[in-house]
Amino acid sequence: MRRKITLKHIARELDVSISTVSKALKGSSEISEDTKDKVQAFAKLYNYKPNNIAVSLKNKRTKNIGVIIPDIVHHFFTTVFRGIEHYANQRGYNVIVCVSDESFDREVVNMEMLANGSIDGFIMALAGETQLKKDFRHLREVMDQGMPLVLFDRVTDEIACDKVVLNDEQISYEATMSLINEGRKRIALLTTDSFFSVSNAREQGYKRALRESNITVDENHILRLPYNKEIDGVGSFLKKNNINAVLTVNEIFGVHCLSAAQGIGLNIPTDLSVIGFTDGILSKYSVPKLTTVAQHGDKMGALAAKLLIEKIENDFNEEDEVFTTEVIQATIIRRKSTIN
Amino acid sequence: MRRKITLKHIARELDVSISTVSKALKGSSEISEDTKDKVQAFAKLYNYKPNNIAVSLKNKRTKNIGVIIPDIVHHFFTTVFRGIEHYANQRGYNVIVCVSDESFDREVVNMEMLANGSIDGFIMALAGETQLKKDFRHLREVMDQGMPLVLFDRVTDEIACDKVVLNDEQISYEATMSLINEGRKRIALLTTDSFFSVSNAREQGYKRALRESNITVDENHILRLPYNKEIDGVGSFLKKNNINAVLTVNEIFGVHCLSAAQGIGLNIPTDLSVIGFTDGILSKYSVPKLTTVAQHGDKMGALAAKLLIEKIENDFNEEDEVFTTEVIQATIIRRKSTIN
DNA sequence: TTGTAGGCGTTATCAG
DNA sequence: CTGATAACGCCTACAA
């Protein structure tokens, strides 16, 4: 077993000092061509690579970024993660992921694990529990230590930091409008509990579209379904309220709605139009294919990573920090569950 | 901005030596209760936490594990990752993920990035290109350096290391058998190019079941579809060969098969039975719901992490290393696309 | 009971 | 042109 080789080994073998080796490997002009060649050849032969940990300690830079997300088996987060990972890798950063599982405690623990030197900055989407409790001390603490933080999607106004969000309210408004333009009047919203920042924004957009079109907002047309649990009762909800169009805040609800509607004999899109959120795999393979709001997670992730790395690398001048909130423009992918 | 505090800061403030602080914080019995209290109180007040990087350098242990997977927007890998992350976290390890994107080069680059001290060991599934090229030097190199490696799912016989795989051949045999037991004779296989170790194993199981049941294996009944590309021609394939049962090596093919069959007027499962692989979200929301082989990714991931951490922590006695290959038992989840 | 010194691997400064 | 030294933050054997 050929153990990893260090500067010290090379120095000993070649009978020079460690600093000479270090400089020679960097091609420093202070070192003679002769020794440079000798050292570099030896290093190549034994496949010398500097030890990241030692370099990190020296530079106080790990070239790692920490990502904390509520869930990984989830198309949108996965997509964002891919965006982050891809961009970060290009810039020479590695990504450490922790999953909070929607739990406040796990979010706190994970942050603490990573905040002690393992990473140069955080990218995260808040756990459901955190948004519910509105307790953000762990975020504030990390910021106080001068560690950059970028929030995406599930954000909060209570923390001043860079953010990347979707134009949730607006795209939800537009989606609802497009249903109204199909001539639909009895439009339902299938959503989750409203403490999720994004669900809330989507609900606002839905309501605004109705109001602006002089359709009274009927709370009975808003069905709040449990998140990550068995779904039930959508068919009877549709029938009872005589719904003819639905906006759902994710694609699971959307696809479920499709089958529930077909189950009670409705034709899609003739009798009922459906628009979902999250342009994932379900939307593409459902029957009929689901019209859906693409959240462009890749773009969101890449942008979050870009913002973070800029903060990390621009030894930002302490107090006069400026935070931006970037808004990603969602787009509606028209497929077969709507008329237009 | 309250910068991170170190032993040195505490020592200076309290006018003791660094080592006294270090010992006091560990509750060492060499230190007087008095100073212990004083130091610990101070440390708590300023929220002292040891710097991971420094500890890593000292111990030559990072408490990080590296995961390299071909794709992250993919239900199975995502599930395995969750298993790894969950188990690793419990044992105090963090997880650094790199995505190879099925590319050999990216796999190599990522491995090199991580192998220089950032992590204590690797868990990986081979990129498609790597399985095609059969070039495993990068794996061997890492092993040579004494860094533990666990391969899962996409493995190779050419590297001696711990492995976690599915009983692909056997479960594929059983799935095919169950189709045969429904009275089906014209059974198709929808698969990918055969250089993927798993597709290959599944094909073997399928063929064995046919052979043992005295059904001639007809290569025309095996349709090889491009991976991660647009799928086409499944309907005409089914019709032309008068297929009445299908086994597919993933759930996308399975669900696609469902719609293609329904598109040409076949009733499922009366006219055609379908069994897919990967019990993901598609299978649960398809119409009808897809009978599928559950690969238990969580379990696979947890086991891989367990094997790896054991190797890391048991300062394994150099040469007399023993490698195990653990086999996860897949199970068939019966839903509505089959008769039984 | 406390402190000193050396080392983990690297880099940067300064002296020879 | 080369090397000694100190430092990053922590730990620990050994000395006082």
Q: What is the mean pLDDT of chain A?
A: 94
Q: Prior bond to B269 cis, omega within 30?
A: yes
A51 within some domain: no
Residues A94-137 pLDDT 10s = 999 999 999 999 999 999 999 999 999 999 999 999 999 999 99
CB atoms within 10 A of CB B138: 17
Q: Is the pLDDT of residue B318 over 70?
A: no
Nucleotides of C under 7 A from a protein CB: 1-5, 7-14
One domain for residues A145 and A84: yes
Q: Is the pLDDT of residue A88 over 80?
A: yes
**3-class secondary structure for B260-297?**
HHHHCCCCCCCCCEEEEECCCHHHHHCCCCCEEEECCH
Rounded to 5 degrees, φ, ψ at A30 are: -75, -10
| Mean pLDDT, range A236-260, rounded to an integer | 95
Beta strands in chain B (DSSP E): 64-69, 94-99, 122-124, 149-152, 162-166, 187-191, 222-224, 245-248, 273-277, 291-294, 325-328, 331-333
B2 within some domain: no
Residues A168-177 pLDDT 10s = 999 999 999 9
One domain for residues B288 and B244: yes
| Mean pLDDT, range A243-259, rounded to an integer | 95
Q: Is the pLDDT of residue B319 over 70?
A: no
Rounded percentage of chain A residues whose pLDDT exceeds 70: 97
Specify the 3-state DSSP secondary structure of B160.
Answer: coil
One domain for residues A290 and A176: yes
- Give, in Å, how far the C1' of D7 lies from the CA of B22: 19
CB atoms within 10 A of CB B38: 17
One domain for residues A270 and A311: no
Is residue B60's beta carbon less than 7 angstroms from any atom in nucleic acid strand C?
Answer: yes
* B309 to chain A, closest Cα gap in Å: 17
Q: What pLDDT sits at residue A230?
A: 81
Q: Is the pLDDT of residue B112 over 80?
A: yes
CATH number of the structural domain spanning residue B186: 3.40.50.2300
Query: Could you give the dihedral angle defined by the CA atoms of residues B335, B295, B79 and B120, in that order, rounded to the nearest 10 degrees?
Result: 170
Contacts of A282 in chain B (CB under 8 A): 281-282, 285
One domain for residues A224 and A312: no
A90 within some domain: yes
Q: Is the pLDDT of residue A340 over 80?
A: no
Using 50, 70 and 90 to split pLDDT, how confident is the model at B316? Answer: low
One domain for residues A260 and A285: yes
Q: Which residue is nearest to nucleotide D12 (CA to C1')?
A: B19
A338 within some domain: no
B209 within some domain: yes
One domain for residues B243 and B94: no
One domain for residues A277 and A304: no
Which nucleotide in the DNA or RNA is closest to residue B19, CA to C1'? C3
- The strand pairing partners of A291, in sequence order, are A275
Contacts of A141 in chain B (CB under 8 A): 47
One domain for residues A239 and A285: yes
Q: Is the pLDDT of residue B340 over 90?
A: no
- Give, in Å, how far the C1' of C16 lies from the CA of A27: 22
d(CA B64, CA B309): 10
d(CA B174, CA B131): 26
One domain for residues B185 and B132: no
The domain in which residue B78 lies consists of: 58-165+297-329
Q: Is the pLDDT of residue A13 over 60?
A: yes
One domain for residues A303 and A160: yes
Q: Is the pLDDT of residue A317 over 80?
A: no
B41 within some domain: yes
| Residues A52, B117 contacting (CB under 8 angstroms) | yes
d(CA A224, CA A234): 10
One domain for residues A41 and A145: no
How far apart are the two ends of chain A, measured CA to CA in Å? 65
B53 within some domain: no
Q: What pLDDT sits at residue A61?
A: 94
Q: DSSP for A174-242?
A: HHHHHHHHTT--SEEEEE--TTSHHHHHHHHHHHHHHHHTT----GGGEEEPPTTS----HHHHHHHHT
Number of domains in chain B: 3
* B20 to chain A, closest Cα gap in Å: 21
B316 within some domain: yes
Q: What pLDDT sits at residue A195?
A: 78
Residue from the list B2, B47, B117 with its beta carbon closest to the beta carbon of A52? B117
